[in-house]
Structure 1
Amino acid sequence: MRIDLDFMTVLSQWPMLLKGVAWTVGLTAVATVLGLALGILFAWMRAGGPIGRMIGGPRALGWLVGLYVELIRNTPFIVQLFFIFFGLPAAGVKLSPELASVIAMVINLGAYATEIVRAGIEATPRGQVEAAMSLAMGRAQTVLRVVLPPALAKVWPAMVGQIIIVMLGSAVCGQISTQELSFAANLIQSRNFRAFEAFIVATAIYLVLAIALRRLLNWLGARVLLAR
């Protein structure tokens, strides 16, 4: 059986593909910034061991953060997305597909980032924190200037991997009509019936995006974190 492939039919729809790439990159950028910030805050609240006792946040809030982390890490991303987009309107909260996608991605990345950053914080040598406190540095100063930079440097490769997973997971957001890359590929194949070619092109683009994002984040990590 002969299969005739026609990639030009798909590539001719490059404005739609470009728009999908732009949405994917935009969603990932916002989710990375907000999710990482959320993860750092929650990791501080949930930090345990000697370091957690010295510079950790309120213990009661740590329990709540723990419930959030377990809930998000043990449920599928698509269920979280559908709950936000389809479930919240029942409670009177109606969101656009794009806003629901951003919220879902931030919440998802935040939970995983919490545990990743927490591991880095708890690996901080106790003497380092004691030295900072002996210099009359406050708790916030100690966390931001002494504990957090080396903690992030230790766990940055794992964080980069998780950010890429979230970027690839954004393909699910097309299920609620967010106009990201997988949505564009599905729309193209519905018009020209070239499903194989459309999703091969989408796969190639996702591969390029993942490699580019990994190199960019590693480059940023080497200059911002490891250079300190």
Structure 2
Amino acid sequence: MAYTFQFGALAQYQHELMSGIWLTIKLSVLSILFGSLAGTLLASVRSINGGTVRFLVDAYVEIIRNTPFLIQLFIVYFGMPGLGIRVSADTAALIGMTINLAAYSTEIIRAGIEAVHKSQIEAGEALGFTRFQIYRHVIIVPAITKVYPALCSQFVLMMLASSICSAISTHELAASAAFVESQTYRSFEVYIVVTLIYLVLALALRAVLALVGLWLFGRRVARRTLATKPVSAVSEVSA
């Protein structure tokens, strides 16, 4: 049976798709900023403190990494109102994405911190560095440099996972695609176009992150960022 493609039917809904693309970009950028900052803070606190603090951080990381992102979104959007806290779908999506990304970022940065050899810290102490200077110049910057490609892979994965937020009525790209499909009944065409859009967004984000890596850490890290595939983020952290 022959199938006739009719991509022209989507033309009148380009504003709808552009709106979804913009919200996807907005949620991704904000969650990357907040999630990476939270991950850096939690990984640092975990490395400095032991006992209860380390246990709580580890528990948070394990709970988030071993439960579905969709369930986490449902808890934020549908569960929090039971506690008297009501937020919009977009805000709930941002909170859920940030919480999820912060857990993965914490684990990735923890691996980087533990990769810093104790002799480097002792050398900093011998040179008379303060604890803050040792943390900044000897620990955290080299740690993030080592794991930056893995972090970037996780950022790209988070951007792609934003499509799940359509389940709580967040009108990002996946939700826009569903709306266009319901209006045109051209499922094949709609999702081919949306697949290409997600591909372009992922490659563009990786290129931007590579430029950031070039500015912060140099050419070697930038090249590794471009070369690393998103699906390898977990394996990089494990390594």
**TM-score if structure 2 supplies the norm length?**
0.88
Give the alignment of 1:89-100 within 5 angstroms: 89-100=81-92
Which runs of 4 or more aligned residues in structure 1 lie more than 6 Å from their structure 2 counterparts after TM superposition? Answer: none
* SS of 2:129 mapped into structure 1: coil
Write the distance in 2 (CA, Å) between the matches of 1:168 and 1:221. Answer: 21
Give 2:114's aligned residue: 122
Letter in 1 for 2:179: L
- How far apart in 1 are the matches of 2:208 and 2:101? 18
1:15-34 equivalences under 5 Å are 15-34=15-34
Paired residue for 1:201?
Answer: 193
Alignment pair present for 1:101 and 2:96: no
Q: Is residue 179 of structure 1 aligned with residue 171 of structure 2?
A: yes
Q: Which moved further from structure 2: 6-15 or 60-69?
A: 6-15
2:225 alignment partner in structure 1: none
Question: Is 1:13 matched with 2:5?
Answer: no
CA contact (8 A) 1:188 1:198 kept: yes
Match 1:88 to one of 80, 84, 90: 80
Query: Is the CA contact 1:152–1:225 (under 8 Å) kept in the aligned structure 2?
Result: no
Alpha-carbon shift at residue 136 of structure 1 (Å): 3.3
Cα-to-partner distance string for 1:144-170 (whole Å, 9 max, x where unaligned): 222111111111111111111110000
Please say if 1:70 is aligned against 2:73: no
- Contact residue 13 and residue 188 of structure 1 kept, 8 A: yes
Aligned partner of 2:183 among 191, 197, 206:
191
Report the AA paired with residue 27 of structure 1.
L
> What TM-score results when the alignment is normalised by the length of structure 1?
0.92
Moved more, 134-143 or 15-24: 134-143
- Tell me the distance in 1 between the aligned counterparts of 2:147 and 2:77: 32
Match of 1:53 in 2: none
Say whether 1:213 aligns with 2:212.
no
Which residue identity is paired with 1:169? A
Identity percentage over the alignment?
A: 40
Residue type at the aligned position of 2:80: L
The size of the alignment, in residue pairs, is: 220
Q: How far apart are 1:225 and its partner, in Å? A: 2.2
Deviation at 1:9, TM superposition (A): 1.2
Most deviating of 21-30 and 189-198: 189-198
Distance in 2 between the 1:29 and 1:184 partners? 19
Distance 1:76 1:138 in 2: 42
Alignment-mate amino acid for residue 207 of structure 2: R
Aligned to 2:4: 4
Aligned: 1:158 with 2:146: no
CA contact (8 A) 1:149 1:225 kept: no
Unpaired runs of 5+ in structure 2? 222-239
Measure the CA separation in 2 of the matches of 1:110 and 1:226. 25
Amino acid at match of 1:143: Y
> 2:231 aligns to what?
none
The one-letter code of the counterpart of 1:29 is V
Shift of 1:58: 4.9
- Label 1:226 to 1:151 Cα distance change in 2 as closer, same or farther (>3 A): farther
